[in-house]
A and B are shown apart, each in its own frame.
Chain A
């Protein structure tokens, strides 16, 4: 039955948080790597 209320959706929540965490982590690692290379 269509209640107008979004049911479930945890997979979308997990995807959004995982993507956010991964993006920050990957960018942080990329920055650290590029800085180390430039400082040599």
Chain B
């Protein structure tokens, strides 16, 4: 039986509050960057989205392994949630990056290693979600999508290291030492905001997937009738 707790809504409310405060700080309080000017303010949503997207992919990878080890459908429901939230964040990440690239690089998109490897992971996860729609047999669907998620997740370290391994147009990872302290607050508060939103979304989406599975795996009326007849 799937529980109906209000906890996910609390996470969502906390996430919205953090995002509103962080965005206010990023848009109106933090100073403009020396070279990128006001366009740099896009970083206060782009970078936190990237961090949380990576967490969502790691979550999907862990729950995929969890399913293969336990064969418990709770893990499959979590996997479906992880995949969908990963796709949402990857899509946002690519769009925000594009909007930032136009005024700074002069193009909306470039097939550079970081962008290309991110797009590959986005479409891989979209493909796994499509696969789940097409396979009607629940055990087969769960195993196939868990294996496909583990294979797709191999791309995540490539995304992370791409700016170091290849000559990339995308800048390398920043650290607190390379970012001015005036930029820390909006970055961190927005990162927490998106993290809390993501937790709320994951919990609700897991509940939705579990409800669907519960309906799907319940014995059909004919079968239940035959079973009752056998027992009588």
Q: Residues on A close to B: CB < 8 A? A: 4-10, 12-13, 15-17, 19-21, 23-24, 27-28, 31-32, 34-35, 38-39
Contact = CB atoms under 8 A, between A and B. Distances in A.
Given A6-B39, A6-B103, A19-B96, A13 B27 contact: yes
Given A5-B35, A23-B92, A17 B204 contact: no
Nearest to A14: B27
Contacts of B27: 13, 17
A28 B88 contact: no
A39 B161 CA distance: 43
B103 A9 contact: yes
B67 interface: no
A9 B49 contact: no
In the A-B complex, the 5 residue pairs with the smallest Cβ-Cβ separation, listed nearest first, are A9-B39, A16-B42, A38-B211, A6-B37, A9-B103
A10 B91 CA distance: 22
A16 B99 contact: yes
A21 B91 CA distance: 13
B140 interface: no
B45 interface: yes
Nearest to B4: A39
Given A13-B27, A23-B92, A31-B204, 7 more contacts: A4-B35, A5-B36, A6-B36, A9-B37, A16-B45, A17-B45, A35-B207
A15 B99 CA distance: 7
A8 B32 CA distance: 11
Contacts, number: 78
B204 A35 contact: yes
Interface string B40-66: 011001100100000000000000000
A24 B102 CA distance: 23
Nearest to A22: B92
B95 interface: yes
Nearest to B49: A20
A17 B46 CA distance: 9
Given A23-B88, A35-B204, A38-B212, A12 B37 contact: no
B208 A6 contact: no
B196 to A, nearest CB: 11
B121 interface: no
Nearest to A13: B41
Contact of A12 (B12, B19, B42): B42
A13 B99 CA distance: 8
B180 to A, nearest CB: 16
B99 A12 contact: yes
